[in-house]
A and B are shown apart, each in its own frame.
Chain A
Amino acid sequence: MIAYLLRSLAQAIVVMLAVALIAFSMFRFVGDPVANMVGQEASVTERQELAQRLGLNDPFPMQFAHFVRGAAQGEFGMSYRQGRPVRDLLIERAPATLELAVLSSAFALVLGIVLGVYTAIHRRGILANAVMSLSLLGVSLPSFLIGIGLIYLFAVELHWLPSFGRGDVVSLGGWTTGLLTESGRKSLIMPTLTLGFFQLTLIMRLVRAEMLEALRTDYVKFARARGIPERAISFRHALRNTMIPVVTIAGLQFGSVIAFAIVTETVFQWPGLGSLFIQSVQFVDIPVMAAYLMFVALVFVIVNLGVDVLYFALDPRLRGATTAPAR
C-alpha cells in the first residue's frame, strides 16, 4: 500500500516538474524579462544589475532550480502589468473561482446522476429521449452562449438576477465568500448553471451508460427474482455500483472546470482567476500566465492523488497492488 501511494506521489512530482519547466521556459524565453520590469529610461547598468539580481546570468539548470524553489513557496515574481506580486493576485482571486467551481461541480453531479438514472430506467420513454437529444444540443452549444442566454432571460427580461459580478461578499479570514449574503447567492446562480452545464451532459451520459450496464448484471437479475421492488433495485443495487467511475470522472474533471471557468468568468465579469488569466494573455503578462498554469496543474495533481487514494479505500481488490488501476 505504501509503495502504491509513494508511486502516485512520485508521478505527481514528475508532472509538476514538467509543467514547471514549461512555465519557466515561457518566463525565460518569451519576451525579455528585464525589459518588461524596468522603464524605458533605465540605463544599461541598471538593466545588468536587475538581470544579475534575477539570476538571469546563471546557467539554465540553476535558474530552473531557483524558479522551482520560488514556485514551491508560491513566489512567481511581479506581474508585468499590475506591478504587484503574482502571489497576492492569485490569493485575492482564488476564492471566487474555487467557490464557483465547487458549486457547479456539485450541481452537475447531483442533477447529472438524477437525469442519468432516469434516462437509463425509462430508456424508451419520451421524456428520457427528449433529455438525451437535448444533451446533444448542449454539446453543440458553446458555454458562453448559455451564459448570454441566461443573462438575457433572467437579468434583462425578468430582472430577477444580477448580470455581472459577485454581489456583496463576506471575508472570512482572507477567504471571501458570496454564500452569506443574498446578493452574493443571487450572483452565484447563473455562473454556476453556465459552468455546470457541460459537466452535466457528460455525467448524465456516463451515469446512463453505467446504469444500463449494471441493470444487465446477474446481481440485479437475482434481486428481481427475490422480489425486491424495482425502485430499490435501481438505487440500492445498480446505482451504488456505478458510483465509483462516476465520482472518479467528476473528480478528474475538476481541473477542467477551473480552466473552463475562464469563459464563464468573462461572460459574467466574475472577479476570479479565469478573468485574471485572460487579461494576462491579452497583455502577455507572462508571470501571471505561468502562475496560472502551475495552479491548474496543482489542482489536477492533487485531485488525481485524492482519486488514487480513494480508489484504494473503495476497492479492496487493490490492497497489495502496486500500480494504479486502469481508468
Chain B
Amino acid sequence: MRAPSAPTPGLRERLHRAWDSDVAWSFRHSPVAIAAALVAAILLLGAVLAPWIAPQNAFDAASLNLMEGFTRPGELSAAGHVFLLGTDDQGRDVFSAILYGSRVSLLVGLASVAFSIAIGVTLGLAAGYLGGRTGAVIMRIADIQLSFPAILIALLVFGVARGLIAPQYHERAAIVVLIIAIGLSNWAAYARTVRGSTLIEKNKDYVMSARVMGRSAFSIMGQHVLPNVMGPVLVIATINLALAIIAESTLSFLGVGVPPTQPSLGTLIRVGQQFLFSGEWWILLYPALDLVLLALSINLLGDWLRDALNPKLR
C-alpha cells in the first residue's frame, strides 16, 4: 500500500531505495540469477535489435543467394562470404534467422502471457471480490482449463480459429491466433492466485474504508485491491513466459504455428530437422540452443524471483 500524502522521492533516492531493497540484495547475492539475467538480456536485445544487427534480412527472400546454401559455420561460401553459424538450404544466414526467429518467439510469448494475465487477473479479482455464484462459476471454468493439457487447448483453439477465418487470411492472422490460443490455455493459474489473495485483501481495513466512502466495487477492485495482489502474479508470469515460448515453438514445430515465411525458433527447428540426416547439423542445432538458453534463463529467473519474494520458502 502506498501512502499518497508522502512527498514523491527524487529519482536518485528512489534508485538508492531500489538498490537497498530485499529483492535487489538477493539478486546481488545470487550468481545464478545474475548469469540468467545476463543471458536473457543478451537474447532479448538480439531479438529487439535484429533489424539493425542481423547481417541479413532473414524474412526477405530477395536477399538470399541459393548458391550459398549449406555453407558450414565459419567457412567460406561459394560467393566468398563467411557465415558465423552457417547457412540453410536457401542460403539464409542461420545467425540472422535466429535473431529474427527469437523476435517472433518472444513477441508471441510476451503477448500471450500479457493476454492470459489480463483474463486471469480480471476473472480472479471478480471471483474473489464478488464471490457467490459468479465466483463459483469462474473457478469451475478455471478447474476445467487446468485439468486439460495446455497444448491440447491451444491446438483446439487454433483449429477452431482456422475454421472460422477465411483461408486467404490464415497467414496474416497466424500470430494473433497463436497469441490467443496460448493465452487461453494458461490463464487459470493467475485466476486462482489472484482469487486467493483477493479473499484475504477484501477483509482488510483499507477496502472497508473505501467501501464506506462509497467507492464502487469496480473501482475498489481496480484501484485498491489490484496493486496488492500483483506480487505472486509476477512470479507466475515469469515462469509462464518460459512455458509460453516453449508452447509457441512446439506449435510451430508441429506445423500449426507461424507460417514459414515468418519463422519463429520452432519453425527454424522444424526446417532444420529435415537436414539432420544429411549431416547439416548447424541448421538445427543453433536455433535449438537459442531456444533452450532462452527458456532455461527465464526459468532460472522465475525460480529466483519466487524465492526472493517469498522468504518463507528459503
Are A151 and B147 in contact (CB-based, < 8 A)? no
* List of B residues within 8 angstroms of A284 by Cβ: 159, 162-163
Closest to A145 in B: B288
A140: Cβ under 8 A from any B Cβ: yes
Q: Does chain B have a CB within 8 A of A256?
A: yes
Interface size in chain B (residues, C-beta < 8 A)? 36
Q: Which of B148, B159, B295 has the most CB of A within 10 A?
A: B159
Complex CA distance for A263 and B188, rounded to whole angstroms: 23
Cβ contact within 8 Å between A293 and B276: no
Produce 1/0 per residue, A133-168, CB < 8 A to B. 000110111111100100110001000000100000
Identify which of residues 136-164 in chain B touch chain A, using a CB-to-CB cut-off of 8 Å: 144, 147-149, 151-152, 155-156, 158-160, 162-164
Distance between A222 CB and nearest chain B CB, rounded to angstroms: 29
Residue in A26, A136, A139, A278 whose beta carbon sits within 8 Å of that of B160 in the complex: A26
> Least Cβ distance of A163 to chain B in Å?
8
Q: Which residue in A144, A255, A280 is a CB contact (below 8 Å) of B159?
A: A280
The yes or no answer to B59 lying at the interface (CB within 8 A) is no
**Proximity bits, A285-306, B CB within 8 Å = 1, else 0:** 0100100010010001000000
Most buried by B among A137, A142, A259, A286: A142
Does A217 touch B at the CB level, under 8 Å? no
CB within 8 Å of A: which of B250-269? Answer: 250, 253-256, 269
Task: Check: B299 CB closer than 8 A to any chain A CB.
Answer: yes
Q: CA of A144 to CA of B246 in the docked complex: distance in angstroms?
A: 10
Within 8 A of B (CB), among A254-278: 255-256, 259-260, 262-263, 266, 277-278
Q: Residue of A at shortest CB range from B154?
A: A281
A140 contacts B273, CB within 8 Å?
no
Closest to B155 in A: A281
Contact B292 A136 (CB under 8 A): no
Nearest B residue to A289, CB-CB: B159
Check if B292 sits within 8 Å of A282, measured CB to CB: no
Indicate the member of B151, B256, B303 with the most A CB atoms within 10 Å: B151
User: Are A152 and B255 also in contact (CB < 8 A) when A18-B144, A286-B163 are?
Assistant: no
Complex interface: chain A residues within 8 A of B152 (CB): 259, 262, 293, 296
Contact B163 A31 (CB under 8 A): yes
Whether A156 pairs with B276 at a CB distance below 8 angstroms is yes
How many residues of A are in contact with the other chain, CB < 8 A? 37
Is A72 part of the binding interface, using a Cβ–Cβ cutoff of 8 Å?
Answer: no
User: Of the candidates A144, A281, A293, A300, which one forms a contact with B256 in the assembled complex, judged by CB atoms under 8 Å apart?
Assistant: A281
Indicate whether A30 reaches chain B with its CB closer than 8 angstroms: yes
A304 CB, min distance to chain B CBs, angstroms:
9
Q: How far is the CB of A192 from the nearest CB of chain B, in Å?
A: 19
Contact present for B246 and A142 (CB under 8 Å): yes
- Contacting residues, chain B, for A140 (C-beta < 8 A): 242, 246, 292, 295-296, 299
For residue B296, give the distance in angstroms from its CB to the closest CB of chain A: 4
Do B273 and A156 have beta carbons less than 8 Å apart?
Answer: no
Residue numbers in B under 8 Å from A259 (CB-CB): 148-149, 151-152
Kindly identify which residue among A26, A141, A266, A296 contacts B254, using a CB–CB cutoff of 8 Å.
A266
**A292–B265 CA distance with the chains assembled, in angstroms:** 28
Question: Which of chain B's residues have a CB closer than 8 A to the CB of A263?
Answer: 151, 250, 253-254
The reply to whether A260 and B159 contact each other, CB–CB distance below 8 Å, is no
B276 lies within 8 A of A148 (CB): yes
Rounded to whole angstroms, the CA-CA distance of A255 and B256 in the bound complex is 22
Contact (A142, B149) CB under 8 Å given A136-B300, A137-B296: no
- The reply on B291 being an interface residue by CB < 8 A is yes
> For the complex, what is the distance from the CA of A143 to the CA of B247, rounded to whole Å?
11
Chain A residue with Cβ nearest B272: A148
Report whether A300 and B147 are in contact in the complex, using a CB–CB cutoff of 8 Å. Answer: yes
A294 to B300, CA, bound (A): 37
Q: Is the CB of A136 within 8 A of B299?
A: yes
Q: How long is the Cα–Cα vector from A31 to B161 in the complex, in angstroms?
A: 10
- The 8 Å CB contact of B288, one of A143, A148, A278, is A148
Q: Give 8 pairs: A residue, B residue, CB < 8 Å, sorted on A.
A: A30-B160, A137-B292, A141-B292, A141-B295, A148-B269, A148-B288, A156-B277, A262-B254
B-to-A contact residues, CB < 8 Å: 144, 147-149, 151-152, 155-156, 158-160, 162-164, 242, 246, 249-250, 253-256, 269, 273, 276-277, 281, 284, 288, 291-292, 295-296, 299-300, 303
- Other A-B contacts than A30-B163, A141-B292, A145-B291, 19 sampled, CB-CB below 8 A, are A15-B144, A136-B296, A136-B299, A140-B246, A142-B292, A142-B295, A144-B253, A145-B288, A148-B284, A151-B276, A163-B277, A256-B149, A263-B254, A266-B253, A266-B255, A277-B155, A278-B256, A286-B163, A300-B147
